Structure 1
Amino acid sequence: MDAYATVICYHEATRHRFEGYARGPETLDWDAPPAPFRRYEGAPVQALPLAAARFEAPFSRLQQPVHGPAVPAGPEALGALLQLSFAISAWKSNGVERWALRCNPSSGNLHPTEAYVLAHGIHGLADGVHHYRAEDHVLERRADWPPGDGPPGLYLGLSSVIWREAWKYGERAFRYCQLDVGHAVACIAYAAALLGWQVEAVPGLPSAALAQLLGLDRHADFTAGRRDDVEREEPELLLALRGDAGAGAALPARAEGARWHGRASTIDPHPMYRWPIIDEVAAATAGAGDAPCAVATGAGGPPPLATADGGPGAVATILGRRSGQRYDIGGLMPAAVFFRLLDATLARPQPPWQTLAATGQIALLLFVHRVQGLAPGLYLLLRDAAPSLLAQLGPEFAAAGPVAGVDHLDLWLLRAIAPAGLRRIARSLCCHQDIAATACFSLAMLAPFEPVLRRDPGQYRALLRAAGLVGQVLYLEAEALGYRGTGIGCYFDDELHALLGLKDRQWQSLYAFAIGVPLPDTRLETTAPYVGRPVAA
């Protein structure tokens, strides 16, 4: 089976349907979940400063192009960047159990994404590869590189421990891991913006080369568990943290002769299931990294996003972001807030849009429940999606028309629907979850699919990551405006397509999301992370 057919087979097999969910475990041992943190036993450790507060700025700083002067690279700046992207943001407990929340959201709070710092010529960091251990906010030095020439470089490699998701979600886990990579990339880009750094994906780096660079192909270092597919990490992509992504192509040569340290800790000593289809789609979509990213500027793109004085701080917003668990069904959203949230999803030459390709292709199908001044119903924000999407819709949407008075937003009212009926539809399509119906609005992300994958099956990862990145923008923008978002990975693919009259795989739904007025859960206790660690003044 060729790569394209493998991807299509995987996507079809992992659909949730009214008559049955995608294949997953029949039982879960909640007393023995996969380890949420990886560590490398025997690797030298370097503590990082908790320095994020030093770089506090108005949240509007994240809504503008990156501007200098750039903060010098070093342990303090890197500590702040990792604190705002991968670190623990809080501990939660219910009196019996205790678990960590992190700055980068994850399906089921399972956090498959691991981060590796690659440095050369950076003051205060040894040249080589360092694993970020979020549990303790430290770097574990995995590899020492031999001395080399050239300008300083600082990179971040991402991998996925797919089993963390597969343990709970079975075959659909590969989808969720890619969404999580998109969330993580956006977190990195936002954190870097506070340092005046422009993050770029390094193009043209084959997956095998990235695995070798990060030490993920050193199988003898990953033998603590019983099964290779459980313990290994899937290489995802490499990010240049201060621009100059082109220089990343020289890293494999610089890493030749590296001296490696440490052995990986166990993820799951007693796995109960196997999902070989995940290995198949991972191999079929392994490629040469993310494509170079270009975002339209000037007349070719939307106007700059308007910014307002005051408002919350960027650091406080990032560290305070939470996923909504329950929404106030009586909560209303002003139309200005709704349009602002949609406007923030348009790809512009600012973080995080310049980091990943394909982000502009995602169209948003909106279930508008309670937005003042807007009729409840189905709306469609095309963003940069081809207008041909409208032509793909069923004949029942022939009377759809653009919403007036929303400036540059390509927003269409597809159909007004009575509130009770709309809530029933939204709830049913999102695996009968109330959160899709009690939010002020929920949405489905639609992406061009079959034509894109025929050209390059590896774009399956890119499209899912793009959806995750859009979700992270919505998370932070909603948080800054006093609302709360939540990603929804469980939805009925075919039934959502049928609602729109989509007959083939030209467009596919890849992610769902909801934003509303959150209801606090008073049963949970929240405590601060890294208690006892000094905070950089």
Structure 2
Amino acid sequence: MPVSYQTKQIDEVVVYHQLSKHHFNRYAASLGYLDWATQPDSFRRYAGAKKIPLRKIESDEFLDMDYESVFHAKTVRHDKGDLNIDLISRLFFDSLSLSAWKSSGKSRWALRVNPSSGNLHPTESYLLSGPMDSISDEAFIAHYSSDEHILELRSEFDVSLWHKLRKGFPVEVFFIGLSSIYWREAWKYGERTFRYCHHDVGHAIGAISLAASSLGWQTTLIETLSREELSILFGLVDSRGPEGEYPDCLIALTPQANSVNQTEIAKDTIDQFQLLSWHGKANQLSPSHVSWPNLEKIATVTAKPNNEPILFENLLRGEEKTTEAYTNRSVSFRKIVRQRRSAVAMDGKTSISQEQFYQILKKTLPEENRYPYETLPWLPKVHLAIFIHRVENLEPGLYFLIRNVEHTDCLKKVMRSDFLWEKPAGCPEKLPLFKLLIADVRDAAKQISCLQDIAAEGCFSLGMLTQFQESLQKYGAWFYPRLYWECGLVGQVLYLEAEATGIRATGIGCFFDDPMHRDFLGIKDLSYQSLYHFTIGGALEDTRIES
């Protein structure tokens, strides 16, 4: 691809990124109110497609799977890890299914295992597999419908095409595809929608990776297909218009016992999917829509092109991770993922121990945890700028966790020169955490997070500072959404770690961008940008939860 064209696309990404920032004197453009008459349907359905019921998992089943073990290599022992409908049922149940219902007055809405900005859930998922008992005698692609915990059979094809498609992978392999319906978020959030949708993709990737690990399987992101090719593979070529569904990624799932060096599927088979018969008509989500041209433009600009070189930097892939927990926890993975909720308010008084804090941060490090980080084939781009409020034996202030030590010199260079960069007392040697500023930072955290009390009233909050400019220049405009995927994946781990610690977390998408970068951290350029914020602490009870 010509360099001049790549530069133009990157420039357009920067234009959107700047346009979608919140500022003290203005927010990014949105409708400004909630038009309840056009609220999108939360669930995609394909009328006319054959429905395949998945197994209904009881709440007390499989509670013996240890939460800690799912993060590490080949530590999971499972007795039902064979590729069949039972495994598929459990995988989706612990990653993308409904987890509870909320009600307020006459309104009632569902919560899911995977979190979403505003609980609007723009992410859809598809299962691509060879023949499987109780689903299909042929190879198939099916849509997962979370409201009924079913598969909707979109197309079936000859097993010979399946063998060509999966050539090079272990015999036991299947794929999950993820896509985004931007309208679901744009209805509320307008031009900032693109950011939130790709946070959600990252959350979904993390949820799938950890659920797969609990079953003895591993996940690999297939980064060799263009968006056009994914559209063909998912049967979304004709999904256009205001409710258009944009394919995001394809994930290969294989048993942990197998070494996987394969990172691509046979591209010469993709065109044959255009000849398949596709079943079911997608439901209409809203009776009318509001157009957001800048959202449509960034979606087009960031489409992964054909013939892009294979991206694979994760040199730690496949190595055994040997770690020592800072705290002793014995909790059920299934219980943690099913009880995960987003806190709606913090109590402003709960504190956690220094050891618990370090344990949470340790789980965000790829070199300490095989899953879910090995799913992403690039080295970490995301670091954590942490506002500490209530952590025992740690002074309140601004701290910084470096998730890729190769960025250390650059970070110190672009951030404020008066930062301390000192190792906190008692911090484990292998945890690259630094104390930058000692102060009461509650007001700053609240102000930066769009004046939300929740950012100041937890144990700590944070911003995910991401290598921005160099990442775009190295890979191209198509890498922009992947920066949000990494943020969402880290966020998924933070959600679960909060639950395992006995507290709660919430992702924060609304924050004042440049006041965080420029005014608080001292970053004057686009070298690093904060793309996602988070808060963790003692949550006030949400009485709207039904079950």
Kept after mapping to 1: 8 A contact 2:394/2:424: no
Counterpart pick for 2:9 among 3, 26, 30: 3
- Structure 1 segment 61-460 matched on structure 2, within 5 A: 61-67=69-75, 71-126=81-136, 127-148=139-160, 150=163, 151=171, 153-219=173-239, 228-242=240-254, 244=260, 245-246=262-263, 248-249=265-266, 252=270, 255=273, 257-271=275-289, 273-287=290-304, 291-292=311-312, 294=314, 296=316, 304-306=323-325, 311-348=330-367, 350-358=370-378, 360-385=380-405, 386-387=407-408, 388-397=410-419, 399-406=420-427, 407-418=429-440, 422-455=441-474, 456-460=476-480
User: Structure 1 pair 254/55, CA: closer, same or farther in 2 (3 Å)?
Assistant: farther
Pairwise CA distance, 1:293: 5.6
Q: Which runs of 4+ in 1 moved over 4 A?
A: 67-70, 300-303, 307-310
Q: Over aligned residues, Cα RMSD in angstroms?
A: 2.2
Measure the CA separation in 2 of the matches of 1:322 and 1:305. 27
Contact 1:327 1:438 in 2 (8 A): yes
Q: What's the CA shift string for 1:258-316, capped at 9, x where partnerless?
A: 22101100111211x21111121112111159833615379x99852528766221001
Could you say which residue in structure 1 is the equivalent of 2:166? none
Secondary structure of the 1:478 match is helix
Provide TM-score, normalisation by structure 2.
0.89
Aligned equivalents of 1:187, 1:526: Cα separation in 2: 23
Superimposed CA distance per residue, residues 386-408 of structure 1 (whole angstroms, 9 cap, x where no aligned partner): 012012112232x4322243221
Choose 72-81 or 383-392, whichever is displaced more. 383-392
- Following TM superposition, by how much is the alpha carbon of 1:463 offset from its aligned partner in structure 2, in angstroms? 0.8
Distance 2:328 2:351 in 1: 24
Which residue identity lines up with residue 142 of structure 1 in the other structure?
A: R
Aligned equivalent of 1:223: none
- Taking the aligned partners of 2:140 and 2:152, their CA distance within structure 1 comes to 11
What residue is the counterpart of 1:222 in the other structure? Answer: none
Instruction: Write out per-residue CA displacement over residues 161-204 of structure 1, whole angstroms, 9 at most, x where no aligned residue.
Output: 11101110000000001110000000000110111001111120
Matched residue count = 512
Task: Decide which moves more: 195-204 or 97-106.
Answer: 195-204
CA contact (8 A) 1:285 1:457 kept: yes
CA distance in 1, matches of 2:105, 2:74: 43
Alpha-carbon shift at residue 516 of structure 1 (Å): 0.1
Residue 59 of structure 1 aligns with an amino acid whose one-letter code is: Y
Q: Secondary structure at the match of 1:282?
A: helix
The one-letter code of the counterpart of 2:213 is A
| Partner SS for 1:193 | helix
Higher mean displacement: 56-65 or 456-465: 56-65
Whether the 8 Å CA contact 1:449–1:506 is kept in 2: the answer is yes
Question: How far apart are the structure 2 equivalents of 1:326 and 1:66?
Answer: 38
Equivalent residues of 1:104, 1:183 under 8 A apart = yes
Letter in 2 for 1:63: F
Q: Which moved more, 1:407-416 or 1:155-164?
A: 407-416
2:27 to 3, 12, 21: 21
Displacement after TM superposition at 1:86 (Å): 0.9
Please give the alpha-carbon distance, in whole angstroms, between the structure 2 residues aligned to 1:443 and 1:258.
47
C-alpha distance in structure 2 between counterparts of 1:305 and 1:95, whole Å: 48
Rounded to whole Å, the distance in 1 between the matches of 2:323 and 2:315 is 12
Alignment partner of 1:500 is 2:521:
yes
* Aligned AA (2:537): G
How many angstroms does 1:60 deviate by?
A: 1.5
CA change 1:301–1:55 in 2 (3 A) is closer
Q: In the TM superposition, what whole-angstrom CA distance separates every residue of 1:1-28 from its partner, at most 9, and x where no partner exists?
A: 8210110000000000001000111332
Query: Aligned partner of 1:37: which letter?
Result: F
Structure 2 residue identity aligned to 1:395: S
| 1:67 CA drift (Å) | 4.4
CA–CA distance in structure 2, aligned partners of residues 55 and 242 of structure 1 = 21
2:159 alignment partner, SS class: coil
Secondary structure class of the residue paired with 2:275: coil
C-alpha displacement of 1:30: 2.3
Are 2:72 and 1:60 aligned? no
Distance 1:355 1:305, change over 3 A: farther
Give the secondary-structure state (helix, strand or coil) at the position aligned to 2:217: coil
8 A contact 1:60–1:308 mirrored in 2: no
Judged with a 3 Å threshold, the aligned counterparts in structure 2 of structure 1 residues 308 and 49 are, in CA distance, closer, same or farther, namely farther
Q: State the alpha-carbon separation in 1 of the partners of residues 433 and 232 from structure 2.
A: 45
Whole-angstrom distance in 2 between the partners of 1:170 and 1:66: 43
Amino acid at match of 1:49: R
Residue 54 (structure 1) shift: 4.3
Unaligned segments of structure 2, at least 5 residues: 164-170
Match of 1:34 among 10, 32, 40: 40
Q: 1:305 to 1:171 in 2, by over 3 A?
A: farther
What's the TM-score, normalizing by structure 1?
0.91
Identity of aligned residues (%): 37
Q: Residue by residue, what CA displacement relative to the aligned partner does 1:133-159 show, whole Å, maximum 9, x if unpaired?
A: 111011001111123163454110000
| Equivalent pair of 2:471/2:479 in contact (CA under 8 Å) | yes
Q: Residue deviations 1:348-369, cap 9 Å, x none?
A: 3521011114462211000000
Confirm or deny: 8 A CA contact 1:292 1:357 kept in the other structure: yes
CA distance in 1, matches of 2:70, 2:398: 30
Greater Cα shift, 6-15 or 288-297 = 288-297
| Separation in structure 1 between the aligned mates of residue 438 and residue 101 of structure 2, nearest angstrom | 42
Structure 1 residue 112, shift from structure 2 partner: 0.3
> Would the alpha carbon gap of residues 111 and 358 (structure 1) be closer, same or farther in structure 2, given more than 3 Å must change?
same
Q: Is the contact made by 1:202 and 1:249 (CA closer than 8 Å) also made in structure 2?
A: no
- 1:518 maps to which residue? 539
Letter aligned with residue 91 of structure 1 = W
